Amino acid sequence: MPWKEVTKMSSKLEFVRLAQEKNASISELCQRFNISRKTGYKLLNRYKTQSLFGLEEQTRRPHHSPARTPETIEQKIIQARKRKPSWGGRKIRAWLLNQQEKNIPAASTITDILNRHGLIEKRDHKPLSPLQRFEHEAPNDLWQADFKGHFAMRKGRCHALTVLDDHSRYSIGLRACDNERADTVKSHFIELFEAYGLPWRMNFDNGTPWASAHTKHYRYTELSIWLIRLGIKVSFSRLRHPQTNGKDERFHRTLKAELLQYHYFWDLTEAQRAFDQWRNDYNFDRPHEALGMKPPVSRYTISQRKYSSVLPDIEYRTTDIVRKVNKAGNISVNNKKYFISESLQGLPVALREYAEGQYQVYFCQQKLFGIDLRAG
């Protein structure tokens, strides 16, 4: 993941914070972030001695000034609320505790302080109901991906591509795109895979570019077929059930509440710069209620499954019935045609018997659906 000018600071911050996690491999992280080990250790030393100021390219005021007179707890609470207008008493209290602040009052007291200073509107008291109620056991077991509804900028529209780790809620990617085409998504996925490794499974909704409404069975597209070839299982949300991708849906609501509703961007570059800064805050600082008021980085580690641009060979069991999909998306078995998927044309699929005359159709490791060869 080469550092670009608009994302250099956020990439440096993400590198040093991931490097501080337990059992982190500095060499592995340097390779993922496309920097030398010398550069990596230099950044870590600067961050250790100078905090965020040591990562800046230009002289800027540090986030915390040791020479400044300590502020009162109430002032810190007010400042936290102004910095994060959507945060309530519980989240502000957890954030201050995570910052090693002392003598932090109860969440109800913080709420009273915010009310007294006119910093809470009536709508803030209405809680957001969760869309997701389960999680996978380990990081990278499942990534959820989707596009946040596109919005207007002064120059064009922004389509925000979001990728979220299910277990940790870590934001793997938040990218400002000018379209939702498969080639655009694929290029961003490659960058994320190079930086964070491959997940075991990715879940999507039933829209383009990951799914197609013009095929029978599951709606695989060239993009989802490519993911399967990489060894990633692909799944789709149930129709009219957005909660299947609930954590990413909730992430979209948080993104809107904490960033999008307060900004009108000039172009994609400005939007991406804001995305990078907000994403770092979300991953490393923002307390998450489902994580015991800890930030997502407390539960995330990068995947050890490395990405390769060379797709592996397709291999099946010797007991499988293997057929190549033709241009129409069909295979032929016992002189009968069975529709599989137009996106799989030219590729082999396997029929694996699970009951007499009944077979599961596989593409690589992905089970597609069942067919009955006994049917007339």
Secondary-structure percent of the chain, ordered helix, strand, coil, rounded to 5: 40, 20, 40
Alpha carbons 114 and 78: distance in angstroms, whole number? 7
The answer to whether residue 295 sits within a structural domain is no
Reduce the secondary structure of 96-165 to three states and give it as a string.
HHHCCCCCCCCHHHHHHHHHHCCCCCHHHHCCCCCCCCCCCCCCCCCEEEEEEEEEECCCCEEEEEEEEE
135-161 as b/e: b if 16+ CB within 10 A: bbeebbebbbbbbbeeeebeeeebbbb
The answer to whether residue 109 sits within a structural domain is yes
163 strand-pairing partners: 145, 173
- Specify the pLDDT at position 107: 75
- Specify the pLDDT at position 54: 76
- Specify the pLDDT at position 174: 96
Same domain, 32 and 109: no
Q: How confident is the model at residue 17 (pLDDT cuts 50, 70, 90)?
A: confident
Give 247-314 as a DSSP string.
HHHHHHHHHHHHTGGG---SSHHHHHHHHHHHHHHHHHT--BGGGTTB-GGGG----S----SSPPPP
Same domain, 12 and 119: no
- Specify the pLDDT at position 123: 47
- Specify the pLDDT at position 177: 97
The answer to whether residue 66 sits within a structural domain is no
Same domain, 17 and 43: yes
Q: How many domains does the chain have?
A: 4
pLDDT tens sequence across 7-16: 677 888 888 8
Contact 283, 295 (CB under 8 A): yes
Which range is least confidently modeled, 37-41, 91-95, 195-199?
Answer: 91-95
- Specify the pLDDT at position 104: 77
Alpha carbons 75 and 223: distance in angstroms, whole number? 50
Residue 268: what are its φ and ψ, rounded to 5°? -65, -35
Two structure tokens written together for 286? 């923002």
The answer to whether residue 309 sits within a structural domain is no
For residue 242, what is the domain's CATH number? 3.30.420.10
Same domain, 195 and 238: yes
Contact 351, 333 (CB under 8 A): yes
Same domain, 150 and 47: no
Alpha carbons 178 and 345: distance in angstroms, whole number? 30
- Amino acid sitting at position 145: A
Q: How confident is the model at residue 69 (pLDDT cuts 50, 70, 90)?
A: very low
Query: What sign does the dihedral 26-27-28-30 (CA atoms) show?
Result: positive
Among 65, 98, 125, residue at a domain's last position = 125
Alpha carbons 1 and 34: distance in angstroms, whole number? 6
pLDDT tens sequence across 261-311: 889 999 999 999 999 999 999 999 888 887 888 899 999 999 999 999 999
The answer to whether residue 306 sits within a structural domain is no
The answer to whether residue 186 sits within a structural domain is yes
Same domain, 170 and 84: no
Contact 158, 176 (CB under 8 A): yes
Same domain, 148 and 111: no
Same domain, 190 and 89: no
Same domain, 93 and 197: no
**Mean pLDDT, the chain, whole residue set:** 83
User: Collapsing DSSP states into helix, strand and coil, what is residue 200?
Assistant: coil
Residue 30 pLDDT exceeds 80: yes
Among 270, 293, 313, residue at a domain's last position = 270
Two structure tokens written together for 324? 């190549």
Q: Angle of helix 182-196 relative to helix 222-229, nearest 10 degrees?
A: 20
The answer to whether residue 232 sits within a structural domain is yes
Alpha carbons 162 and 299: distance in angstroms, whole number? 19
Mean local confidence (pLDDT), 231-249:
76
- Specify the pLDDT at position 216: 54
Same domain, 150 and 236: yes
Same domain, 78 and 47: no
Full-model pTM: 0.74
369 strand-pairing partners: 361
Residue 46: what are its φ and ψ, rounded to 5°? -65, -40
The answer to whether residue 256 sits within a structural domain is yes
Share of the chain above pLDDT 70, in %: 84
Residue 165: what are its φ and ψ, rounded to 5°? -80, 130
- Terminus-to-terminus CA distance in the chain, angstroms? 53
Between 112 and 321, name the one with better pLDDT.
321
Same domain, 90 and 190: no
Cis peptide before 209 (omega within 30 of 0): yes
Domain that holds residue 342: 321-372
Residue 45 pLDDT exceeds 70: yes
Q: How confident is the model at residue 137 (pLDDT cuts 50, 70, 90)?
A: confident
User: What Å distances lie between residue 319 and 289, 331, 334, 374, CA to CA?
Assistant: 49, 18, 16, 19
pLDDT tens sequence across 156-167: 999 999 999 999
Alpha carbons 28 and 62: distance in angstroms, whole number? 29
